[in-house]
């Protein structure tokens, strides 16, 4: 429950914090949660990356894309679906 609330918290505050805070703190948390054993957490991370990607610094964008590519082949259908969807949107930017 704490992990899903953390993702919700990051999404709600992302527009209110500095780009530096977003990249130094929030992005690292999401990158860690991208490896979570619970599929619900992973697909919510994909949704977050989808939204936050434009504000990420180049290094975090690369890490984000890498995490999404890894999740694209996730064994869980939803985690894979949302990762593919986020990656497709990111590639259009």
Looking at every residue in the chain, the average pLDDT score rounds to 96
Q: Which domains does the chain have, with CATH numbers?
A: 2-92 (1.25.10.10)
Q: pTM here?
A: 0.92
Q: What is the pLDDT of residues 17-62, one digit of tens each?
A: 999 999 999 999 999 999 999 999 999 999 999 999 999 999 999 9
R_g of the chain computed on alpha carbons = 12
Q: Is 9 helix (H, G, I), strand (E, B) or coil?
A: helix
């Amino acid at each position: 429950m704490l992990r899903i609330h953390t993702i919700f918290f990051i999404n709600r505050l992302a527009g209110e914090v500095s780009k530096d805070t977003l990249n130094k703190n929030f992005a690292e948390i999401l990158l860690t949660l991208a490896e979570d054993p619970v599929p619900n957490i992973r697909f919510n991370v994909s949704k977050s990356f989808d939204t936050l990607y434009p504000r990420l610094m180049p290094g975090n964008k690369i890490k984000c894309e890498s995490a999404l590519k890894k999740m694209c082949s996730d064994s869980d259908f939803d985690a894979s679906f949302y990762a593919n969807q986020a990656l497709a949107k990111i590639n259009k930017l």
